[in-house]
Amino acid sequence: MSVEHATTIPSPTDVGALANRINFQTRDMHNKINAYMSMKMAFAMRHGFIYRQGIVAYYYVFHAIEQEIDRLLEHPVTVQDEKVKGILQQFWCEEFRRSDKLVLDLQVLYNDEYPGSEQLQEFLDGFQLPAKLQEFVDEIHSNVQKEPHTILAYCHVLYLALFAGGRVMKSNLYRHIGLFPKFGHLSPKELVRRATNFFTFSEEGVDDENRLRWQYKKGYELATRTELTEAEKLRIIEVSQTIFQRNMEVVAEIGEINRAELMGKFSYKLISFLSEEWKYSEKLTPEVKKLIVFALIVFNMVFVYTILRRLI
């Protein structure tokens, strides 16, 4: 018998289950962001400096969520805090914590710039969040501190999304090992293994991850079915809908920041960026292709001129 067992809780046809209600009410947004993220991730995977910025962004998102979870579990103040603490205790466990895993990945992805853990933490502590990311992080704290039950929206939407998409991401990463920086004596596969902690919930393999997922979904359903009012459930569904929009805004913001930076200066990184887009894109307009060719020609001229000056 599989880890999911003969009886899945909640059943996919259980219209009273909060998880199913969230899924139904967010289906259109879910499909939209899946298509959007697939396109953006395919783009980011060709440019490691963009990909790792996404990992940084989600460090702050999950760190904010887990700060609120820890606060509710360890220092509940109000009656509502105590109520949500009781719900969290029925499904949350340390294997789900992602912020620590994200730091492990960032230690690899930013090794050249911040070779020590203290240096990396200083970077993370002093990093100025872009506007949309800051709005998302602030909204997480604000929602949960005003209405503690809204933490359950983040628990359902973001963590289960990783269960569903994590294996796909790891598969894509293994096919794009060239985007990672060199890291000591590690082989490319060892390097990728060390930089995909965000998408890994168990070192014991797929079966153990399936067990954790089943326990999470079961505990979430049993805890939320009777212990929440209908008004609280509707609010959780509402917040779940906004999470999808916030995700799209954060990803779009990363793209806009990089586009502005790359096009604002002439550099080897820009040329590498253009070369990769030429290689992978079959839908470039003739005008864009001409621009890329021109940029590459100019870069080669500048490069040759620079070399000749050094030789003369």
Domain ranges of the chain: 18-264, 265-312
Element (H, E) at 133: helix 131-146
pTM for this structure?
0.80
* Nearest residue to 42 via CA among 199, 172, 168, 198: 172
Q: What pLDDT shows up at residue 9? A: 79
Q: Phi-psi region for residue 5, left (φ > 0), alpha (ψ -120 to 50) or beta?
A: left
- C-alpha distance from residue 58 to each of 63, 169, 300, 306 (Å): 8, 14, 37, 40
Hey, how many other C-beta atoms are within 10 angstroms of the C-beta on 25? 15
Long-range contacts of range 74-82, CB-CB < 8 Å, 24 or more positions apart? 78/148, 80/147, 80/148, 80/149, 81/148
Residue numbers belonging to the annotated binding site: 30
Q: What pLDDT shows up at residue 63? A: 98
* Nearest residue to 137 via CA among 236, 128, 238: 128
pLDDT at 305 over 60: no
Residue numbers belonging to the annotated binding site for heme b: 30
Which of 10-14, 29-33, 107-111 has the weakest average pLDDT? 29-33
Q: Given pLDDT bands bounded at 50, 70 and 90, which one contains residue 238?
A: very high
Rounded Cα distance, 69 and 293, in Å: 52
Element (H, E) at 268: helix 268-280
Q: At CA 67, angle to CA 62 and CA 69, rounded to 5?
A: 95
Q: What pLDDT shows up at residue 183? A: 63
CATH architecture of 18-264: Up-down Bundle (1.20)
